Amino acid sequence: MSKDNTSFYAVLGILDAGAGSGYDIKKAIEYEIGFYYKISNGQIYPTLGILASKGYATVDIEKNEGKPDRKVYSITETGREIFREWLLRPVNYHNPGGNELLLKLHFGASAGAEHNMTLLADHMGIKKRELGRFNEIASYLNIKTAVTQQEIYSYIALLYGQTLAEANIAWCGEAMKILKAMEGKAGSND
């Protein structure tokens, strides 16, 4: 329902790759995408409830001795559609939480290289424009002309922006190269 509920789609994406319980999903997220995306029980379990109530997932209960029964969730066709819709939407850069681009790339493996190339090209464009703005500011906020300490700290912040934007641009280039190579391989010998 909501536009940008990242955790909603993260859970749905994990289910898209295979059925599992809340516990399984937590482990999968930690293991697969844990380094750029975190999730807590307080999000997973309510999300699974919503998923089931909307018909995006079905539940199977597995009896478990001594432990609570495992509630194993499977994605439905509707769920898949909803998930694909999200995958194909452009990345929301206002979303302050986790790295939506990496999340979409991760889940987009099966969605084909083309779409991911677009996501990367978009990202590169955004970072290039960002870098352009920083460079413009740098032309008058120069370290050589900086006098006050405040100016120096502002310059350091600017440098951060420039450095990170450049790193993003470089990464996009590399990633696109890799995807291009992969497409070539897939086309020629698979």
Residues making contact with DNA (CB under 7 A): 1-8, 21-24, 27, 38-43, 45-46, 48-49, 64-72, 94, 96-98
Q: Quick check: helix, strand or coil at residue 116?
A: helix
156 near a second copy, judged by CB under 8 A: yes
Per the structure block, which two tokens stand in for 141? 């906020």
Nearer to a second copy, 90 or 97 (CB): 97
88 near a second copy, judged by CB under 8 A: no
Nearer to a second copy, 41 or 163 (CB): 163
* Torsion-angle region of 92 (φ positive above 0: left; ψ -120 to 50: alpha; else: beta): beta
SS3 content of the chain, % helix, strand, coil (to 5): 70, 5, 25
Distance CA 62, CA 184 (A): 44
Q: In the complex, what is the shortest distance from the CB of residue 113 to DNA, in angstroms, rounded to a whole number?
A: 27
Nearer to a second copy, 90 or 112 (CB): 112
Residue 122 belongs to what H/E stretch? helix 113-140
What is the identity of the amino acid at 12? L
Q: Given the rule CB under 8 A, which residues bind a second copy?
A: 32-33, 35-36, 38, 96-98, 102, 105-106, 108-110, 116, 134, 143, 149-150, 152-157, 159-161, 163-164, 166-168, 170-171, 174-175, 178-179, 182
